[in-house]
Amino acid sequence: MLAGDLRIVESNRALAAMIGMPGSELAGRSFESLLSVPARILFQTHVFPALMADGRVEEVLLTLGPSGDQAVPVLLNAERSEAGGEAAYVAVMVRIRARSQWERELLDATRALERERASSQQLAEELAVVASDLNARLADDARSREFRDAFVGVVSHELRTPITTIFGMSHLLRERHRTMAPDAVTAGLDDIQREADRLRRLTEDLLVLSRAEGSRLEVSDDPLVLGHVLRATVKEEAARSEGHRFETSIDRDLPLVLGESIYVEQVLRNFLSNAVKYSPAGSLVRIEAARDGDGVAVRVIDEGRGLGDEPSEQLWELFFRSADAMRQASGAGIGLFVSRELVQAMGGRVWARPAGNEAGGAEFGFWLPAIEVEEDT
Amino acid sequence: MLPAMDVLSRHAVQVAGDPASPPILFAHGFGCDQTLWRFVAPELAKDHFVVTFDYVGAGRSDRSAYDPGRYASLDGFAEDILDIVHRLDLRDVTLVGHSVSATIAMLASIAEPGRFRDLVLVTPSPRYLDDLPDYRGGFARADIEGLLGMMEVNATGWAAYLAPVVMGNPDRPELASDLEATFCTIDPVMARQFAEVTFLADNRADISKVSVPSLIIQVSDDVVAPIEVGRYLHQRLLDSTFRVIEGTGHCPHVSHPSETVGLIREYLRDRRPTPTPPTSAPAIA
């Protein structure tokens, strides 16, 4: 029994035994003085405010007596009552050596469980990574199976056409060239050369494709003089496509770019042959190259039927061929995909857009980054 | 970065009194929450604009806003006070801090002295650990470790400990209907860190940086903040007034509410200069 100021009014022998102090000496002492030093802090900061404000506390662990190992753990229950009209408190303390032990074990078990949980969570996270890895691989497998099927279909068709021509025409010429009209012989040889050239390009694209699939497109860091490569390629291509007019507009002071000349040739050839393929004979194909931001933009502009209704992004997909394109000419749907792969490998980007000229036309372009030239200032 | 949560809900800020009256901001100490001010705040709200709040993790604060990094030192708590002062645009604030919040109040006033008219430091201690031979804070490190251990064990049964506390009390029917049903609840994680930060802090070097006048209220028999610690602080704190309440305990605002209010009122009355009408037009500088 405690007075309103928490001094001991009356106590039983059990408490005296717990403290190891005669009961007569307990009366008049403050309750706080029974506690260990840490328990006094807890009492003053937590228990006392609760007791004063709400009149009771239950099951608070405190320790009695000197701090350290000799401290006696007790569980305090206290409640306000009244004694002779004055506030008073009844405090019951239960010695809890066993419970304390049990609580300590519970705490240890809780901590162990916490650690267990943390490690199983980590395990779960690792498993999730493995699973998503597996899923990605499965998806990759599915993609590569799809790819292989499409590849075999498209390529066998694309190979068969020129080979059929070359095979048939060479056979014909060999058997009958003596009796054929000279013009017919020349035309036959032209056919063979054209189809052989088509075959050569296809194999070049396929080579790039296989490298791109394995991310093995290598680009040297040698600077590239774009103007030379462009002029040479356009000249070569123009000689091959006599039905079209070619016009180049290449800025004189183009910066050096980061790129691989054979890649640039291949991209430009793809763009030019597309321009020729999808625009009427006699129309103009313009090639422009100009500085654009930190690099150089190269544009191939034709006077054909334009891009059709498909979103221009689709054009760059592998094996994609627009309905319009399929009506106009044969093709594998590899060239633009390969061109984009090559340009991206060189750190550039590609685009396709309506040319905006009177004929309708399409513009295919690529951009390559210029090499930073350190200026001596 | 979390979206800026409103300071008022983060700290369950409560206001009372006329907003045009001089503001008093009460900061609760370690161990409980703002409801401990309920024995003194309503009385002062008669002629003051009274603001109380909970630190994050205590009472009805938004516990999801608890940031162990921010509260790894008392400066984070001082920032809380400044956040509230700014949010409510309080000026010439009387900042009342209990226990560790007395130190936090000092830190807040050092950061922005212009915002505070005076500090009321209730049972303060700038350093709880002894630093012998020159300083006796009252505790050895082992005592604090004992406290942390005891708190940890209590935390496992925390709910059991608290549940009966918040139940209706036949002696105090107003408590049953009282919405303050979260009396003294503190998140165990917050409580432990708060205990560590509080009891291991050493802010003695900050005392001389305080430029705002202050009232120190000490209890004659307080095991947590011994009276010698109060004297130590008073001797080093510029423009401080030292008053002692005869009694026992660490929470005079709970155990001796009328004396506490009386001391605060007396101090504020003496401190407040009677408004004098300007005798001449202000000089143009």
Choose the mutation target among B98, B143, B178 for the interface with A, i.e. most A CBs under 10 Å. B143
The confidence band for A58, taking pLDDT boundaries of 50, 70 and 90, is confident
Q: Is B35 on the interface with A (CB under 8 A)?
A: yes
Catalytic site residue from B222, B234, B240, B256: B222
Write out pLDDT tens, residues A99-133: 656 666 767 777 777 788 888 888 888 888 888 88
B172 pLDDT more than 50: no
B99 a catalytic residue: yes
What is the pLDDT, as a whole number, of residue B170?
39
Cβ–Cβ contact A189 with B under 8 A: no
In chain B, the largest separation of any two C-alpha atoms, in whole Å, equals: 67
The model's confidence at residue A83, banded by pLDDT at 50, 70 and 90, is: confident
A91-119 b/e (C-beta count within 10 Å ≥ 16 → b) = bebebbeebbeebeeeeeeeeeeeeeeee
Token duo for residue A320: 């994609």
Is residue B266 within 8 Å of residue B241, measured between CB atoms? no
State yes or no: is B101 an active-site residue.
no
Residue-level pLDDT at A341: 85
Amino acid type, B241: T
Q: How far is A246 from chain B (nearest CA, A)?
A: 58
ipTM of model = 0.80
User: With 60 as the cut, is the pLDDT of residue B176 above it?
Assistant: no
Highest mean pLDDT among A52-56, A153-157, B94-98: B94-98
Q: Which long-range contacts (CB under 8 A, 24 or more apart) does A74-80 make?
A: A74/A18, A75/A99, A76/A47, A78/A2, A78/A47, A78/A51, A79/A55, A80/A51, A80/A55, A80/A56, A80/B171
First to last CA, chain B: 45
How far is the alpha carbon of A42 from chain B, nearest alpha carbon, in Å?
7
Shortest Cα distance, chain B CAs vs residue A39, angstroms: 7
Q: Is residue B208 predicted with pLDDT exceeding 60?
A: yes
Question: Of A325-329, B89-93, B151-155, B277-281, where does the model show the most confidence?
Answer: B89-93
Interchain proximity A60–B154, CB inside 8 Å: yes
Among A2, A5, A7, A46, most B C-beta atoms within 10 A, so best to mutate, is A46
CA B195 from centre of chain: 14
Distance in Å, alpha carbon of B19 to nearest chain A alpha carbon: 28
With a CB cutoff of 8 Å and minimum separation 6, the contacts of B178 are none
pLDDT tens by residue, B220-265: 999 899 999 999 999 999 999 999 999 888 999 988 999 999 999 9
pLDDT band at B284 (very low <50, low <70, confident <90, very high): very low
8 Å CB contact of B254 and A53:
yes
> What is the predicted pLDDT for the residue at B212?
95
Interface of A with B in 69-128 (CB under 8 A): 71, 80, 100, 103-104, 106-107, 110
Asked whether the beta carbons of residue B249 and residue A59 sit closer than 8 angstroms, the reply is no
Cβ neighbours of B161 in A, within 8 Å: 57-60
Task: Give B-chain residues touching A5 at CB under 8 angstroms.
Answer: 247-248
| Per-residue pLDDT, A331 | 66
Q: Closest to B249 (Cβ–Cβ): which among A48, A55, A104?
A: A48
Examine the pLDDT at B158 and tell me if it is beyond 60: no
